[in-house]
Chains A and B, each alone.
Chain A
């Protein structure tokens, strides 16, 4: 920093000290925030500026806190940034009244500093949001992928909610592993709770069925809604010889029959295990 800039900066620091009440009041009006809320921030800024070579860590911490607080109270992140930017206008009025060249030159430096701090509040907001979203996505992935046993040798995955490519992949890997772990030769993939699929998800479903076949197991897809059926046909996705059933119950009945278990007719359901197929 050359001598001029140093003098200019010191002049701003002086003004922040001598006119602190005026600036705070004006800032409070511009930012539409109570003086008390801004006071701590203002003091922290002054302390940071007074320290030679300060990295503004304290004030960044305070800003992050302010940003979180205000979001909780329903302010938008731009609101918060605008509130921080308000300090520039408040200080400029004091600088204008002072009229000295040092103060004017110093204001340029000060203005840049406040810009940085304002943008920092936005950044904090975005980072916090991103973390929440990531955490939720992860929880969702774990929560929503149960593979359940329906019968000896029959497992099912009831899929609920929107499927994206990553989630479909996780579910499918889990299903295939369950086939091995339980020695199940039949699997039902139930998509009753899935509102829509895109090409990629449909492809993943198909690949899973083919992979299961390679391992020696058969998959049935059940609960295809009319919309999904329409999507699959319009996208030109070939389901080929993959067995599909309207409901999970139909799919269960089908797989039971396939594994050699027969239901008797009549009021009481009788289950007889077929001894020999040949």
Chain B
């Protein structure tokens, strides 16, 4: 079992690198092409969020196993301004930046578990898990 390890998110190129790393680990976890695509897309959205809203941060990529199936867990964290209203941030179309406001809500739909911890001034941590189907 490989640990994808910790990766910095400090530039646009890092976002691309995160996508490629998540793809590689998803393949290793035995995910179908559709599930790979979903988790890589979610990773891309969340990495961009870290970059745009917090100016940078990091992600940890790891393979997880709950005994019945394997999956991928991604933990994004930053020391940015944080999110005051988490419920609001997850609503489609809500945005404080230049994007479409689909990043958080959309990526939540692409994964199986989505945990967001944040408070103003304390940064944001988002942990998502995607299980390989069947």
- Are A and B in direct contact (Cβ within 8 Å)? yes
| Chain B contacts for A166, CB-based, 8 A | 133-134
Interface size on B, residues (CB 8 A): 3
| Chain B contacts for A173, CB-based, 8 A | 34
| Chain A contacts for B34, CB-based, 8 A | 173
CA distance A63 to B76 in the complex (A): 51
Output the least CB separation between A28 and chain B (Å): 41
Could you tell me which residues of chain B, from 75 to 134, have a CB within 8 Å of some CB in chain A? 133-134
Chain A positions 140 through 182: 1 when the CB is less than 8 Å from some CB of chain B, otherwise 0: 0000000000000000000000000010000001000000000
CA distance A166 to B134 in the complex (A): 9
* Number of A-B residue pairs at CB separation under 8 A: 3
CA distance A166 to B34 in the complex (A): 13
CA distance A173 to B134 in the complex (A): 15
| Chain A contacts for B133, CB-based, 8 A | 166
Could you tell me which residues of chain B, from 17 to 38, have a CB within 8 Å of some CB in chain A? 34
Which DSSP category, helix, strand, loop or mixed, fits chain A's interface?
A: helix
Place the interface of chain A in its size category: under 10
Output the least CB separation between B106 and chain A (Å): 14
| Chain A contacts for B134, CB-based, 8 A | 166
Closest partner residue, chain B, to A176 (CB atom): B34
Closest partner residue, chain B, to A173 (CB atom): B34
CA distance A66 to B34 in the complex (A): 44
Closest partner residue, chain A, to B32 (CB atom): A173
Closest partner residue, chain A, to B34 (CB atom): A173
Closest partner residue, chain A, to B133 (CB atom): A166
Chain A positions 85 through 105: 1 when the CB is less than 8 Å from some CB of chain B, otherwise 0: 000000000000000000000
Chain A positions 166 through 202: 1 when the CB is less than 8 Å from some CB of chain B, otherwise 0: 1000000100000000000000000000000000000
Could you tell me which residues of chain B, from 30 to 72, have a CB within 8 Å of some CB in chain A? 34
Output the least CB separation between A141 and chain B (Å): 9
CA distance A173 to B34 in the complex (A): 8
Output the least CB separation between B42 and chain A (Å): 17
Output the least CB separation between A60 and chain B (Å): 22
CA distance A132 to B12 in the complex (A): 50
Closest partner residue, chain A, to B33 (CB atom): A173
CA distance A148 to B93 in the complex (A): 39
CA distance A59 to B98 in the complex (A): 69
Closest partner residue, chain B, to A141 (CB atom): B134
CA distance A173 to B133 in the complex (A): 13
Output the least CB separation between A178 and chain B (Å): 15
CA distance A173 to B33 in the complex (A): 10
Output the least CB separation between A238 and chain B (Å): 16
Closest partner residue, chain B, to A137 (CB atom): B134
Output the least CB separation between B51 and chain A (Å): 27
Instruction: Mark B residues whose CB is within 8 Å of A.
Output: 34, 133-134
Can you report 3 A-B residue pairs in the complex whose CB atoms are below 8 A from each other? A166-B133, A166-B134, A173-B34
Instruction: Mark A residues whose CB is within 8 Å of B.
Output: 166, 173
Closest 3 CB pairs of A and B: A173-B34, A166-B134, A166-B133
